[in-house]
Amino acid sequence: MYSQESLPPPKAILTAAASLTASALLFQTIASTLLPSDLQTHLSSSLKTLFKRLSPHLTIVIPDSDGLTPNHLFQASNLFLSTKLSPSTHRIKATKLETEQTFTITIDTNQLITDTFQTIPCKWILQTEHVEVNQTSNARSEHKFFELTFHKKHKETIITKYLPYILNKAKEIKEANKTVKLHTVDYNGTDYWSSVVLNHPATFETLAMNEKMKGEILEDVNLFVRRKEYYRRVGRAWKRGYLFYGPPGTGKSSLVAAMANYLKFDVYDLDLREVQCNSDLRRLLIGTKNRSIVVIEDIDCNVGVQSREVEKEGIDRDADSEDKITLSGILNFIDGLWSGCGDERIIVFTTNHRERLDPALLRPGRMDVHVEMSYCTYDGFKVLASTYLQVKEDEKLRTFEVVKEALKKIKVTPAEIAGELMKGEDVEIVLQNLIQWLKMKAE
Q: At the topology level of CATH, where does 181-372 sit? A: Rossmann fold (3.40.50)
Which burial class, exposed, middle or buried, applies to 63 when counting CB atoms under 10 A from its CB (0-12, 13-18, 19+)? middle
Instruction: Specify which of 13-27, 268-282, 319-333 reaches the highest per-range mean pLDDT.
Output: 268-282
pLDDT tens string 64-90: 887 777 889 999 998 899 888 877 777
Mean pLDDT of 43-58: 68
pLDDT value, residue 319 = 39
CA–CA distance, 398 with 388 (Å, rounded to integer): 19
Which amino acid makes up residue 392? K
Terminus-to-terminus CA distance in the chain, angstroms? Answer: 104
- The proportion of the chain whose per-residue pLDDT surpasses 90, expressed as a percent, equals 35
3-class DSSP assignment, residue 349: strand
DSSP at 9:
P
Does pLDDT of 52 surpass 70? no
Q: Do you know the residue count of the chain?
A: 443
Side-chain half-sphere CA neighbours of 93 within 13 A: 12
| Average of per-residue pLDDT values in the chain | 81
pLDDT value, residue 95 = 74
CA–CA distance, 60 with 114 (Å, rounded to integer): 15
- 321 confidence band (pLDDT: 50, 70, 90): very low
β-bridge mates for residue 70, sequence order: 65
Does pLDDT of 139 surpass 90? no
Q: Give which of 367, 371, 347, 351 is closest to 359, Cα–Cα.
A: 367
Say if residues 232 and 239 touch (Cβ distance below 8 Å).
no
pLDDT tens string 84-102: 887 777 777 787 766 566 6
Q: What is the 3-state composition of the chain as percent helix, strand, coil, each rounded to the nearest 5?
A: 45, 20, 35
pLDDT value, residue 93 = 77
- 418 confidence band (pLDDT: 50, 70, 90): very high
Mean pLDDT of 293-322: 60
16 vs 315: which has the higher pLDDT: 16
pLDDT tens string 214-223: 999 999 999 9
CA–CA distance, 386 with 227 (Å, rounded to integer): 35
- Domain boundaries in the chain? 52-176, 181-372, 378-442
pLDDT value, residue 333 = 73
3-class DSSP assignment, residue 191: coil
Which burial class, exposed, middle or buried, applies to 150 when counting CB atoms under 10 A from its CB (0-12, 13-18, 19+)? buried
